[in-house]
Amino acid sequence: MDQFSFLSSAPAGFFVGWGTLSLINAGLAQGKNRSGLLWWVLSLFLGPLATLILVVMPKVRTKLF
């Protein structure tokens, strides 16, 4: 049996989707003036929950007045 045969199975699509979602979340975070790198790492662990949190959070204001 090939040691990398697990990569060609159905769970591989899960990991590709999870990684894509983390990149989308990083872009979404940057659009809301938040750290893209921080949200990318959080999205690797939280996945769709991080997306929900980002969508609900308000945009950070850059100027006070």
- pLDDT at position 47 over 60: yes
- pLDDT at position 6 over 90: no
Q: How far apart are CA 60 and CA 56, in angstroms?
A: 12
43 belongs to a structural domain = yes
Count the Cβ atoms, other than its own, within 10 Å of residue 57: 12
- pLDDT at position 51 over 90: yes
User: 9 phi and psi, to 5 degrees?
Assistant: -90, 180
- pLDDT at position 65 over 90: no
- pLDDT at position 16 over 70: yes
Based on the structure, what is the number of domains in the chain? 1
Residue ranges making up the domain that contains 13: 8-56
16 belongs to a structural domain = yes
Q: Which alpha helices (DSSP H) does the chain contain, by range? A: 10-31, 36-46, 48-56
46 belongs to a structural domain = yes
